[in-house]
Amino acid sequence: MDNEKIWQLLILKLSGEASIEELDELDHLLQQHPDLALHAASVESIWKSKGTRAPADTDHLFNRHLQRLSDGTADNTPFHPIPDVRRRTSGTKRIFFIAASMAAAAIITVIMFNTLSVNGSLPKPATPAVSGNFVSTKNGSKSKLQLPDGTQVWLNSGSNISYENDFGGTSRQVKLTGEAFFDVVKDPLRPFVIHTATLDIKVLGTAFNVRSYPEEKVTETSLIRGAVEITLKASSEKKIVLKPNEKLVVSNDSSSFIKDSSHAVNTLKKPTVMTLTQVHHLEKDSIATEMLWTRNKLVFDGETLSEVALKLERWYGVKVIIKGEELKDIEYTGVFSDDNLTEVLYALQLSGNFKYVIRRNEVIITP
Amino acid sequence: MEKRELIAQLQRKVALCDDMTAYRSLYDLLHQELFLFSFSIIKSREVAEEIVSDVFIKLWRIRNELLAIGNLTVFLYTIAKNLSINHITRNYKYPKVSLDAIEVENVANFDNGEELFITAELAKRIQHAIDTLPSQCKIVFQLVRESGLKHKEVAAILNISEFTVRNQLVIAVKKIAAAAQLNIPPARSRSTPQNKILPPTD
């Protein structure tokens, strides 16, 4: 019976469930049964010699898991993550997945922000809208969200949008850094205002694209339908009303703007300050290039390699380094759908006469 | 942080905040052991992977009710077990209702590590010993040793008593001891008469 007791105590010890008393008792018993002590020792070594399993490729597995989840969810359960730009699946399924993942990304970021505020132990984000809602996208991911009033917002990579908790009370105000496409629900009683670093956009009900990245030289507003009224931060008495298919490009450098503002608004001839142009369609009857990103298309519309590099950094979440000043101002035009970074770079270098190396998250472009 | 504590914390985050990052962390923490568990029952990598994915789909769907679940690990294992058994009963002519009736695959893993205690020959014998254990015994052994579950947890997952869990472990450990007995180097003295090195068998 002693033997049986030893085995019982031994498995408790091996499972990490033995109390100190039990461990003592086991030691004591084993001293009395040296034959079993040897067994016990070898069993213990065997038990403990756990090979390390090769770590599974969890990114790959998890993405596949998410795909199954989004494919199968009838209730359109929100989901996150990074749309896999490399994957080419057929039509509708893919669009659904992107939509699902975009929607989810938004929800998730909102949630993460709320979690931080609840915990209170973590430093609060430096944005003024701490009391409200904050949605941001990292480079390499996009998201779509719906504001409390039903307004749809597509948020491009490396961007953020915030609004106070009282959004929709008497007015609808959001702050935007980066690029977003808005489809605003009509509500004449509560004007919808978007604040960017350079200008404010007031709308009643409309669809338009705003691009206001701090690292870019200009802020662009492209109106698809409806009407918007734009107020420049640098000279608030000037109001510019855009008509459908018009696009306003304003320099982010407000000092240069103030200097020339008297001419700029009327003549619109100083491209460094402010330009009113048409929304661009690469093909007749196609959707405007300015909003193609919401369809997961990467567009370069006569953009210099420097601008292209910025877009690539945001779109793919990489760092792009251009070595060679002479390359930076060459312009590129092209539309890429679902292409991976290598495919895009390959296509660009065919016409651009440069070389590139991709190293982990870094792209180096050389003459 | 201890794994159980971490899991409980992530569970709360998923439940209260729909926190996708926490969900992903839970996946990273548990998917491999759930996979091994399911694989040992199903014996197909593809199906086992699907089952683990289904387990996590379920987790996401009921995320708002997660606070009511005392031990998430046990909960997820139980779903994995049920889905695995369902899969088998669906795909076989004669439904088998208990794990005991299902041939269980051995997924135990032994390695010399740095101690060089376990030779390839010994590892083979131990694996053989585990291979020949009864199904329930094999599963219990794997859940405790490979996945580090507590006896109480294993009992809850398999719907057996803790007493049974311990007895099954004793059976497994005795089997391993018998296999290892042939390997105890004579130099370590106290060799008993049975202690002889057998010629390699095939």
Looking at residue A131, what is its pLDDT? 57
CB-CB under 8 Å, A69 with B56: yes
Residue, of A114 and B105, whose pLDDT is higher: B105
Read off the pLDDT of each residue in A148-159 and give the average, rounded to a whole number.
86
- Packing angle, helices B151-158 and B72-91, rounded to 10: 40
What are the structural domain ranges in chain A?
Answer: 2-45, 296-366
Rounded CA-CA distance B90/B83 in Å is: 10
Interface test with B, best of A4, A12, A15, A59 (most B CBs within 10 A): A15
Closest by CA position to A216, among listed A185, A243, A250, A240: A250
pLDDT band at B123 (very low <50, low <70, confident <90, very high): confident
* Residues A314 and A156 sit within 8 Å (Cβ to Cβ): yes
pLDDT band at A259 (very low <50, low <70, confident <90, very high): very low
Mean pLDDT of the residues in chain A: 73
**Fold for the domain defined by A296-366:** Phage tail protein beta-alpha-beta fold (3.55.50)
Contacts with B, A 63-122, CB within 8 Å: 64-65, 68-69, 72-73, 75, 77-81, 104, 107-108, 111-112, 114-115, 118
Is A84 exposed, middle or buried, given 0-12, 13-18 or 19+ CB atoms closer than 10 A? Answer: buried
Read off the pLDDT of each residue in A222-244 and give the average, rounded to a whole number.
78
Best-predicted range by mean pLDDT (A45-54, A282-291, B7-16, B189-198):
B7-16
For chain B, list the domains and their CATH numbers.
3-96 (1.10.1740.10), 120-188 (1.10.10.10)
Residue, of B188 and A70, whose pLDDT is higher: A70
Best-predicted range by mean pLDDT (A205-214, A217-226, A310-319):
A310-319
Per-residue pLDDT tens digits for A315-365: 888 889 998 888 888 888 888 887 788 888 888 887 777 888 888 788 888
Looking at residue A205, what is its pLDDT? 65
Tell me how crowded residue A327 is: count the other CB atoms within 10 A of its CB: 18
Lowest mean pLDDT among A128-142, A152-166, A172-186, B153-167: A128-142
Per-residue pLDDT tens digits for A19-31: 999 999 999 998 8
Read off the pLDDT of each residue in B97-119 and give the average, rounded to a whole number.
62
Angle at A17 between CA B143 and CA B22, to 5 degrees: 55
Lowest mean pLDDT among A95-99, A122-126, A148-152, B51-55: A122-126
Say if residue A75's pLDDT is above 70: no
Looking at residue A158, what is its pLDDT? 87
